[in-house]
Amino acid sequence: MQITFHGKTALVTGAGSGIGAAIALALAKAGARVAVQDIALDKAQAVAATITAAGGAALALAGDVSVAAEVEGLVAKTVAWGGGLHLLVNNAGIGGPSAPTGDYPLDGWDKVIGVNLNGVFYGLRFGIPAMLAAGGGAIVNIASILGSVGFANAPAYVAAKHAVVGLTKNAGMEYATQGIRVNAIGPAFIDTPLLAGLDEAARNWLISLHPAGRMGTSEEVAALTLFLLSDQASFITGSYHLVDGGYTAK
Ligand code: NAP
pLDDT tens figures, 76-128: 999 999 999 999 999 999 999 999 999 999 999 999 999 999 999 999 999 99
The average confidence (pLDDT) of the chain is 98
**What 8-state DSSP symbol labels residue 196?**
T
Categorize the per-residue pLDDT at 1 as very low, low, confident or very high, splitting at 50, 70 and 90.
Answer: confident
Residue 54 pLDDT > 90: yes
Residue 18 is predicted with a pLDDT of 98
Contact 141, 185 (CB under 8 A): yes
Name which residue sits closest to atom 19 of ligand 1, judged by CA: 64
Pocket test for ligand 1, best of 192, 206, 210 (most atoms within 8 A of CB): 192
How far, in Å, is the centroid of ligand 1 from the Cα of 207?
19
* Ligand 1 and 141: CB distance under 6 A: no
Pocket test for ligand 1, best of 12, 23, 39, 158 (most atoms within 8 A of CB): 39
Beta strands in 13-129 (DSSP E): 33-38, 57-62, 87-90
Give me the mean pLDDT over the 131-151 stretch. Answer: 98
Residue 157 designated active-site:
yes
The alpha-helical segments, DSSP class H, found in 89-245 are: 106-112, 119-133, 155-174, 200-208, 218-229
Amino acid at 165: V
Strand partners, 47: none
Which one of the listed residues 157, 175, 240, 247 is annotated catalytic?
157
Q: Tell me, what's the pLDDT at 33? A: 98
Model confidence, pTM: 0.99
Check pLDDT > 90 for residue 196.
no
Kindly give the distance from the C-alpha atom of residue 98 to the centroid of ligand 1, in angstroms, as a whole number. Answer: 16
Nearest Cα neighbor of 65 from 16, 106, 30 is 16
Give residue 91 CA to ligand 1 midpoint distance, Å: 7
Residue 145 has pLDDT above 80, yes or no: yes
CB 193 near ligand 1, within 6 Å: yes
Confidence at residue 32, expressed as pLDDT on a 0 to 100 scale: 98
Instruction: Write the pLDDT tens digit of every residue in 214-237.
Output: 999 999 999 999 999 999 999 999
198 lines ligand 1 (CB under 6 A): no
Q: Is the CB of 78 under 6 A from ligand 1?
A: no
Contacts within 8 Å (CB) and 24+ apart, 229-233: 229/5, 229/10, 229/27, 229/87, 229/89, 229/138, 229/140, 230/3, 230/5, 230/138, 232/1, 232/3, 233/138, 233/181, 233/183
Write the pLDDT tens digit of every residue in 65-75.
999 999 999 99
